[in-house]
Structure 1
Amino acid sequence: MYKKFTRTLGMLAMAGGLLSLVSSCTDDLDQIPDYSANAEIVYRDPAQIQQVLARLYATFAISGQSGPSGSPDITGIDEGFSNYLRAYWQLQEITTDEAVLGWNDGNLPSVNTIQWNADNEFIRATYDRIYYEIALCNEFIRQTSDARLSERGITGTEAGNIRTYRAEARFLRALCYWHAVDMFGGGPFATEEATIGSNPEYKTRAEIFAYIDSELKALDAEGAMLAPRAVYARADQGTLWTLMTKLYLNAQVYTGTARYNDAVTYANKVLAAGYTLSPSYANLFLADNDKTAARNEIIFPITFDGTRTKGYGGMTFLVHAAVGRAVTPASAGINGGWGGTRAKQNLPALFTSTTDTRRNLFFTRAQNPNVDTLSAFSSGTLVTKYRNVTSGGVAGSDVEGNFPDTDYPMFRLADVQLMYAEALLRGGTGGTAGSALAQVNAVRARSGASALTSVSLDNILDERGRELFWEGHRRTDLIRFGKYTTGYNWPFKGGVRAGRDVEATRVLFPIPNTDIVANPNLAGHQNPGY
C-alpha cells in the first residue's frame, strides 16, 4: 500500500503550524513525501534542510499543521489525543500505579483498567504517531546522504552540518523504534533503504532490538553527534548514551539476554559528561526550565513555547489536565483546568521520609486520597508537578493562558543515576561513577530525603517512583521489575476497584487491527492475547 504525504514548505519552523503533512494512513514507513515545493529544491538549500530537521523534533510536541488544531497529522481520533507526547505518556502512566485519567472519551476507560483490545483508538494513536515520525525520519535520512549532498553541490561546512543533522534524525528514528519495541514488541520495519511504495516487512522484537543496538553503536562510533550539552534540546552524545543505557537495562525483557554491563558502560559516559542535578527538584518542571539550573540536569527535552508550539497535547495536556477543584488555574499559570489526571494512592504512599520535598507536589485538600471512582476528579491525590509558571512565579508567555512554556524532560541526569545503580545491583560491572548506594543517596539528598544505609532492587524501584513519577517511565519500570501484571495491584487494575492480576500478555500492547488489515506482511503477527 502506498499513501502519499503532502506538505506545504512555507511554514517549516519549530512552531505550532510548522508544516502541512496530511495523511490518510500513517502505517507505511517507507513513504516519500509529495512536496508542494519539489524535494529537489528543498534539499538543495541547507537552510530548508535545517527547517525540516526542526519538524522532526517538533513532531513530538505538536499534533498537526495549523496549531492548535484543525489540520491533524493523523486521523481517526481527536487531534489533542493524537499528540505524540500525550499518547505516549498516557500508555506509560495511566496503565500503572501512578496515574488516573478519569475522562470517559471513547475507549479511554479500558486503558485505565488494562482491558484494552486491538481496536483501541488510544493505542492506535500511539502506534501511528511512532511510525509517522519514523517515516519522516526515513525520508530526511534518504535525502541527506553524502551522495545526495554531492549531487546537489553541497560541500564543506554546510555538508558537515547536514551530516550532524542526519545523525540526529537517525537518533530520533532509533528513539521511536525503542518506543515501538518497548510497547508493541515486534512490528513493521523499514529504513531509508526500503523500496518506495512497498509494504514494510515484519520484524520480531529481538530483530528490531538488534537494529537499534547496531544503529546507536554506529552513531557513537561515527562521532557525528554533537558533544554533550552543546545545544539545548538537540540530540547529542549524552542523549545517545542515555538511550543506550535504557536499551541495555531493559534488554533482559526485550530479548531474554541481560546486558547490564553495557548499561553500566554507557551510564558511566553520561555521568562523566558534565550534567549536574538541579538544586531545586520543582524547578525541573516549570516554565523556565530551559533557562535555570534545571537545564544542566535535563539531557533531552521536548520543548514547548506558549506562543509558538500551540496544541492540546504535550505540556498543554499535562499542565491543564491536572488542575481543578482546590488547585487553581492561576497557581499553574493557565486560564482553566481540565479536571482529568490525578494520582492513585500507591504513589503518595512511597513517600515515607517526612523531609522529602518531592512530596510537596501532591495536593490533598478536599480530595479523597483513595481512587474509589475513576471518573470523579475528587477521587485521588492531585499532582502539581507540571506548571506554566517560572521559578520566580511569573506565568508563561501565552497571555491567554492556554499554552505553556514548560519543556518536558524526557531524559535527565537523576534517571541515569538510578539506572546506573540498578544495573550494578543486577550484576553489571565496570562502574566508575561510585557505588549504587552513593548514586541513590545523591538523588535523595537533592530533595532532602534521609540517606539510605543500604540499597536493594526494591529500593531502586521505589526511588524511581519518587523521583520520576509522571515522567513516562513507570510502565517500563514495573515490567522490568516483574510487578506489572501479577503480584502487585492498584485501583481498578483489571477493572475491579481493589485491583487484580491481569494476563501476562498485557506487558505488550496489540498491533492495531487497522494496520494488520492494511499491511499483508503483518498477517499472523499479532501479539499473544489479542
Structure 2
Amino acid sequence: MKKSSLFLCIALPLLLVSCSDDLNQVPISAATTSTFYSQPNDFIQAVNAVYSDLRTYPDRQLNLSETRSDNLYAVSDGGVRDWEGINSFQKTIASNPYVTEAWATNFNGIYRANVLLDQLKTNGAIITTAGLRTRLEAEARFLRAFFYFDLVRWFGKVPVIDRPVVASQALTIPRSPLADVYTFIQSDLEFAATNLPDTYAAADRGRATRWAAKTALALVHMTRSGPTYDIEGPGLGLNEWDKALTLLNEIIASGKFSVLPNYSDIFSYTNENNAEVIFDVQYATGLSPVVGSTFAWLLAPDTWFQANGKPVQGGLSIRPVSNDLLKSYEAADIRKAFSIQTGYTFNGVAETQSFFKKYVDLTKVPANRVDWPINFIVYRYTDVLMLKAECILRGKTGGTQADVDAIVNQVRARAKVPAFTNVTFDQLLQERRKEFAAEGLRWHDLVRSGQITTIIPAWIAADDVQKRMLPFQKDYILYPIPQTELDVKPGLYTQNAGY
C-alpha cells in the first residue's frame, strides 16, 4: 500500500479526527460539527472520514457471506466461535457481534455521509474550486448508497435516514419498505455515476469513480431482480437485468479496465490498483492510529503462521473450506492452490483441514495483526464481465451466447482449465464460486440466483458430517435485526421472521 494512495482514516462520530486530501492523518482538536467546516479542506477531511467506515467491510463479507455459504464448513476445533452460529443457521444470533457490527458500522457511515451532505448544503459556498463541491457530494452519496445496499442484503427493510438526526429522532424512524430503500439507493448511485470523475490523480487513488458507481448500480438492479422468496428482501423480482446489462456494457466499453493474465497478480501486495480494480478498500500500514487491513489474519489459523516462522495473529482456529468447494476445482485449476491452503505441519503434528489463504502473503506478515498492508478489492473487472454473462443468460439483449462463452472461457483460460461450449447458468454460477472464493460474493450470488433454497440444503446434507447445522429455511436469507436495536425502543422494529 503506497502512502500516496487514499488511506482509510479512523474518525470519531463527530468527525473529530481528519485526514488531508490524500488521507494522511492530521488530528483536529476540539472540533465540532458546527465549527468544523470553515475551509474547503474540512469538507475533504469529512468525506475521508466517511470512507473510514469501509475498514471492516472485508471482514464482514468473510463473516456473513463466506461463512454463511457453502464455501466454508465453519465448525471450529478450538472452542465455540462467533462464526459457528452464522454457519449453522442458529436462530439465536440476534446478539451475535458480527450481526451487530454490520448494522452499527453501516449506519455510522450513513450518519457521517449525512452530516457532510448537510454541511455542503449549508456551508458549501466555501468551496470555490471548480467541480469539487459536486464531486464531494457525489462521493458522499456513493458511500451512503454503498452502506445502504450492504444493509439491504443482510437485513432487508431498514430505516431510510437522509439527514443528520440525534438519537431521540432516530427512535421515531421505522424500517422503510424495501422498494423505498432501493429507490433511495438508486437515486444516490445515479447522481454519483453522473458526477464522479472517471479517474483521479495518484494522490487521490482509491476514491469512488463513476465506474464504481455504475458497477454498484448494476449490482443493485441485478439484486432486486432476484426472486422474493416471499420474504422482505433483498430480491423484488423486478426483472431489471437489461438495465444492469446496459451499465455493465458501458463499463466494459470505457476501456479503463482489463483482465490480468495471471490470477495471482490481482491480489499481489506489489500490484495494488491494477487494471482489474474498479473499487477497493484501501489501507496503509505503520501509522498511528493503525489503519491497516484486518481481513487477512482472519483467514488463517495461528499455528500456520507459527509453522512458517511468523508472529501469532489472533489465536483463531480454522474455518475449514467445505469439501464441496474443494471438490469443485478441476485438477489443473491454479486458483485452488492460490486461494486455499490444503494442509501443513506444526510441531510435528499434521493439520489436514483446508482454509482460505487468498490475500495472505507470508512475506508481508505484520507484527500487528490489524495492520496488514493489503487493499481489499470490492469490485473487479472479471466480476463485471461475469455479471454481464449472467444478464445475457437471463435472456436479455446486449450480448449473445458467444459472448457468454468468450467471457467464461477467458476466465477459465487464465485458470489453466479447458474451455466450455454453450455455457449454462449453472456452469456460470459454479465458475463464479471458484473465481471469487474468499472474496465475499458467494452468499449474494446464491440469493440472487434463486438457487439458495436448493443448493444450501443439499450442501448441508452432504457436508455436515458433525451434524452441527440446523435445517435451512428461506427466512435465513436475511439476518436478524440486532437485539440492541430492538431493545433501545421496543416496538419500533419487528424482528425478521425465523428468529
Once residues 330 and 46 of structure 1 are traced to their aligned partners in structure 2, the CA distance between those partners, rounded to angstroms, is: 49
What is the distance in 1 between the residues matched to 2:497 and 2:159?
16
Aligned to 1:111: 86
What residue number does 1:128 align with? Answer: 104
* Helix, strand or coil at the partner of 2:238: coil
1 CA distance for matches of 2:48 and 2:216?
A: 20
Measure, in 2, the Cα distance between the counterparts of 1:517 and 1:278. 49
Q: 1:406 to 1:193 in 2, by over 3 A?
A: closer
Q: How many Å separate the matches in 2 of 1:508 and 1:47? A: 40
**C-alpha separation in 1, matches of 2:386 and 2:395:** 14
User: Contact 2:299–2:357 (CA<8 Å) still a contact in 1?
Assistant: no
Match of 2:242 in 1: 261
Q: Mind listing any 5+ residue stretches in structure 1 that lack a counterpart? A: 21-34, 62-82, 368-375
Alignment of 1:161 with 2:132, yes or no, is: yes
Equivalent pair of 2:293/2:370 in contact (CA under 8 Å): no
User: Could you report, residue by residue, the CA deviation over 1:2-27 in whole angstroms, capped at 9, with x for unpaired residues?
Assistant: xxx7547355468798879xxxxxxx
Whether 1:185 aligns to 2:156 is: yes
In the superposition, the TM-score normalised over structure 1's length comes to: 0.78
Q: Secondary structure at the match of 1:296?
A: coil
The answer as to whether partners of 1:344 and 1:380 remain within 8 angstroms in 2 is no
Change in Cα spacing, 1:86 to 1:59, as seen in structure 2 (3 Å) is same
Q: How does 1:253-402 map to 2 (within 5 A)?
A: 253=226, 254-273=235-254, 274-290=256-272, 295-308=274-287, 315-319=293-297, 321-325=299-303, 330=308, 336=313, 338-352=316-330, 354-361=331-338, 362-366=340-344, 378=351, 380-388=353-361, 395=364, 398=366
Residue of structure 1 equivalent to 2:420: 452
Native 8 Å contact 1:424 1:436 kept in 2: yes
Aligned to 1:517: 487
Q: 1:500 to 1:423 in 2, by over 3 A?
A: farther
In structure 2, what is the equivalent of residue 232 of structure 1? Answer: 205
Letter aligned with residue 90 of structure 2? Q
Q: Is residue 2:39 matched to residue 1:45?
A: yes
Q: Which moved more, 1:179-188 or 1:427-436?
A: 427-436
The SS at the match of 2:169 is: coil
1:86 alignment partner AA: D
Q: After superposition, give the CA deviation of every residue in 1:308-338 in whole Å (9 maximum; x if it has no partner).
A: 38769x843423541444566758x766574
Question: Is the Cα contact below 8 Å between 1:229 and 1:299 reproduced in 2?
Answer: no
Secondary structure in 1 matching 2:54: coil
Contact 1:88–1:126 (CA under 8 A) maintained in structure 2: no
SS of residue matched to 2:379: strand
How many angstroms apart in 1 are the aligned matches of 2:307 and 2:120? 45
Q: Is the 8 A contact 1:355 1:449 kept in 2?
A: yes
Distance (Å, rounded) in 1 between the aligned partners of 2:283 and 2:485: 31
Deviation of the 1:484 alpha carbon? 2.6
- Aligned equivalents of 1:355, 1:9: Cα separation in 2: 52
- In structure 2, the residue matched to 1:9 is 16
* Structure 2 residue aligned with 1:248: 221
CA 133–156 in structure 1, closer or farther in 2 if over 3 Å, else same: closer
Structure 2: where are the runs of 5+ without partners? 1-11, 227-234
Hey, what's the Cα distance between the residues in 1 that align with 2:344 and 2:139? Answer: 47
Between Structure 1 and Structure 2, which shows a larger proportion of helix residues? 2
| Residue number among 114, 120, 145 corresponding to 1:174 in the alignment | 145
Give the match's secondary structure for 1:522: coil
Q: Deviations over 1:359-385 (max 9, x none)?
A: 222222359xxxxxxxx9946313321
SS at match of 2:297: helix
Assess if the C-alpha contact under 8 Å between 2:106 and 2:150 holds in 1: yes
Q: For the residues of structure 2 that align with 1:363 and 1:210, how far apart are their CA atoms? A: 42
> Which whole-Å CA distance do the structure 2 matches of 1:438 and 1:50 have between them?
42
1:462 matched residue in structure 2: 430
1:505 corresponding residue in structure 2: 475
The aligned length equals: 464
Q: Distance in 1 between matches of 2:206 and 2:157?
A: 29
Taking only the aligned residue pairs, the percentage that are identical comes to 24
Equivalent position SS for 1:428: coil
1:104-138 Cα shifts (integer Å, max 9, x gaps): 45643211211143233321121111111111111
Cα distance change on mapping 1:180 and 1:464 into 2, 3 Å = same
Alpha-carbon shift at residue 260 of structure 1 (Å): 0.6
CA deviation profile, 1:223-258 (whole Å, cap 9, x unmatched): 320115765311011101111111111122321211
Quote the Cα distance in structure 1 between the aligned partners of 2:341 and 2:281.
Answer: 26
Deviations 1:280-318 (CA, angstroms, capped at 9, x unpaired): 211222322326xxx110111111222138769x84342
Partners of 2:280 and 2:376 within 8 A in 1: yes
